Structure 1
Amino acid sequence: MPELVPLRSAARQGHWPAVQAYFTSLDSTEKVSYAVGLLAETADVERMLEKAVADRPADPLPRTLLADRYVRIGWGIRSDLRAKHVSQEQFDQFHDWLRRAEQILIDVCAEQPAYAPAWTVRLITARGLSLGQSEARRRYDRLTAHHPHHYPAQMQLLQQLCPKWGGSWDAAHGFAREAAAAAPDGSHAGALVALAHLEHWLELDGGEAGAYMRGLPVRDDLRFAAQVSVLHSDHRAGWYGIGAHSAFALAFSLGGHFEDALPHFTALGDRASDFPWSYLPNPKSAFVKYRKSALATL
């Protein structure tokens, strides 16, 4: 997105004043969380952030950015493979980086209990450090006491509630539906329903996976969630809009419901988010193929 180019440039140049000015200009906590995640993906940015933390030890922003960067470094070492494919050495390094991040974030959240970006990153460290469902829920509840419908945090908790991280499908789908129903019309929260179904699809074998996504209960679930969120007249795309439409476009397409996928591909145009398309072996070709099938329904 063009709006994020100045942040990327400042981060790559190691120019902290420009980074700080960019965050100061943002007008919502969701944008701050999005930008925190984007900057944390920048290689070697931890050098600039460590200096910023040393220079401004009371400022929650550089500390949260540094913590998230440490999380990304750790997760890069661990990889996205299932636990059985990760070596003990990888796990040791992964946990070491996450513990560094967690120590920073404990202080930030104690000093600034309403600072949503820090709590959002703490949902990731809770998952990576295997702190359990109750602790993740506690952190989410602390955040939502100040920010009831913080979509970045909702996406993180949804991951925790999936069976692969010790949850259950009842918990994951239940949370997604509850969040979508509780959020204001036009919010991004409805996309959680699509993401939960995509997570469920991933866990099923071949034919069973296809049958699951083609099922009318899943289709109807997706239709309702889309209508109250990204297809609602009150919806404003924001920075999470591409990801939200991508989740619906992919979920409907996997079920062969291309007429339902069409408005999401129309909203996307030539754009797509890495997640959740990255769940497919060849995301770019899948996007083009499914979009072509959706457009053929016109």
Structure 2
Amino acid sequence: MSALTPPTGRLLLDPTEYVPALAALRSAVQLRDAKAVAAAFDALPDEDDRALACWTVAETPDCGDFLRATVAARPGDPLFRTLYANHLIRAGWNIRSGARAEHVSREQFDSFHAHLRRAEVLLIDVCAEYPAYALAWYLRVTTARGLELGQGEARRRYERLAEHHPHHYSGQSQLLQQLCPKWSGSWEEAEGFARACAEAAPEGGPQGALVAVAQMERYLEIQRDEDTHAAETYLREPAQHTALLAAAARSVLHPAARTDAFHHVGAHNAFAAAHSAAGRHAEAAPHFRAVGDRATEFPWGYLNADHAAAFTRHRKTALAKG
């Protein structure tokens, strides 16, 4: 896998700007070169890297016709059926929007669910034919949430993924969302799952960032229900602070961490955001230094609708103090 390119002095918000392998993949999709797309995925043995690559394809403008045509030409190919399913998932979620359920219209929900059901048809067949195919099971954790199939079904799908890929960070991230109260879960379930994944993962893996994500999810919920001060007070609790430091030390700040892994940047951004939201700017500094100019929309969008502005402002403060 190609290494990450160095920072350029401007914010890099798209992974294709700093991961050469993803830039090449997007180019292959734009050129409608199915052979090159397949070769790009074959060159990524890490399943979490493949998961991010899957979204790079889905986020490439006008990829739908190419993927649909390739599925028709290669009906038995699990990769292109899965990529087309992910295109449908993304299109459906864009229709639904990121709003809370009470702000989504019936028409939006109907179209959203129709897209997810089309994706499910493809993914069910892939999983039946290739039971260890991580990309398809990962996406089925996502569709279970969107189709509101319940905690039990989402966990069942995650467990099928974990049978063959026990530390699949992308799948864990999706189930973590399902376990939050906004998707009918509880904070006990969500935070417990995040801690368990972080503790069970190999040292240096990105799973510790799940602890930061769970904290940011609860921070946002408290902020909505009460106020920013109450949300910050939660993040500043000694137990939350200790858990975050321990998770970072075992994951992205551990000597074994793979700095060339695609999720390395997102994991550091999650830790930086959690520390920044708590006002622990000096402790956010190592994470900002690790990512340089590579910013992510999530979870900075939880601090400001303009996630780039939130990243820039907090990075400036953190680097000045730490």
User: What is the TM-score of this pair, normalised by structure 2?
Assistant: 0.90
Alpha-carbon displacement from aligned partner over 1:126-154 (angstroms, at most 9, x marks no partner): 00000000000000000100000001101
Shift of 1:15: 2.1
Of residues 268, 280, 286, the one that matches 1:245 is: 268
| Alpha-carbon separation, structure 2, partners of 1:92 and 1:282 | 29
Match of 2:239 in 1: 217
Whether 2:289 is the aligned partner of 1:271: answer no
Alpha carbons 1:126, 1:135 under 8 Å: kept: yes
- Name the counterpart of 1:131: 149
The answer to whether structure 1 residue 162 and structure 2 residue 180 are counterparts is yes
Aligned residues: CA RMSD: 1.0
The answer on 1:114 being equivalent to 2:111 is: no
Correspondence for 1:258 among 271, 281, 285: 281
Structure 1 Cα separation of the partners of residues 281 and 242 of structure 2: 14
Q: Name the CA distance, whole Å, in 1 between partners of 2:155 and 2:262.
A: 25
Picking from 31, 55, 80, the partner of 2:73 is 55
2:305 is equivalent to residue 281 of structure 1: yes
Structure 2 distance, partners of 1:231, 1:265, is 12
**1:18 aligned onto 2:36:** yes
| Residue among 257, 268, 276 paired with 1:235 | 257
Tell me the amino acid that sits aligned with residue 90 of structure 1: Q
Take 2:31 and 2:94, find their aligned partners in 1: how far apart are those partners?
A: 22
Render the CA deviation track for 1:5-25: whole Å, top value 9, x for unaligned: 111111122222221121122
1:87 to 86, 89, 105: 105
Aligned to 2:13: none
Q: Which amino acid aligns with 1:203?
A: E
Q: Which has the higher contact order (CA 8 A, sep 6+)?
A: 2
Greater shift, 199-208 or 248-257, is seen at: 199-208
Amino acid at match of 1:250: A
- The whole-number CA distance in structure 2 between the counterparts of 1:75 and 1:104 is 17
Separation in 2, partners of 1:54, 1:281 = 40
Contact in 1 for aligned 2:297/2:308 (Cα 8 Å): no
Structure 2: which amino acid aligns with 1:208? A
- In structure 1, the partner of 2:189 is 171
Where do 5+ consecutive residues of structure 1 fail to align?
none
Comparing 47-56 with 221-230, which one deviates more in the overlay?
47-56
Task: Give the unaligned 5+ runs of structure 2.
Answer: 1-18
Identity %: 53
